[in-house]
Amino acid sequence: MYLVGLTGGIASGKSTVSSMLRELGCPIIDADVVARKVVEQRTRAYSCIVHHFGPGILLENGDIDRQKLGQIIFASEEKRKLLNSITHPEIHKAMLKEILFYFLRGYRYVVLDVPLLFETRRLTRFLNHTVVVYCDPATQLSRLMQRDGLTQEQAEQRVAAQMPLNEKRGLANHVIENSGSREDTHRQVLRLHTKLEDSMDFLLVRVIAIVATAGLGGLLLYAAKILLS
């Protein structure tokens, strides 16, 4: 099995593309979903976040108020980095468990849906393909304002807090242009899906895994013989 990284920018349409790939049968690991799980109450990340940001970020039921926390981190790069340093290691550990699950089930590849894929760069060295969902800046801003009920100033602040989409576009192996219609985006996703299905990258990973497993088994057998002799 090999790994495909899917990313984009806020309101660029990454979730739409992820849903289309899931409908085509692609296994998706959504970092946002994982991120919500690792900050649930009684987790290590939850305790650290409350310690550093204070109980004022909590809802009445004790859960973290994501909107309030978002306002804090989007207004301060230092606090945004602090939050990332708390959550990212926990997110990566949880994602690794899911990757192993799909590997054992025999999938050819799995798509990692990661908003900050190129910002953190911690996962890129493990990826065979990277995909960016792109839309032009005016469309991105308009969608964000409409989706989240933000003022133009608030929307611009959130867009500015991320790596520019043009920069991400230059780093990716594949680009899904999502400034137009849903039908046009779907056609591009179908073409991408065909390329990924036809790729033989998974064979090399399987061979390496088999060789490594066989090597480890041989080493354990040799050690057992020595101990029993």
157 closest CA partner among 139, 145, 171, 169:
145
The whole model's pTM is what? Answer: 0.78
Q: Using one digit for the tens of pLDDT, what is the confidence trace for 144-173?
A: 999 999 999 999 999 998 999 999 999 999
How many angstroms separate the CA atoms of 112 and 116, rounded?
11
Residue 86 has pLDDT above 90, yes or no: yes
- Of residues 203 and 171, more confidently modeled: 171
Asked if pLDDT for residue 118 goes beyond 70, the answer is yes
**Which of 15, 32, 10 minimizes the C-alpha distance to 156?**
10
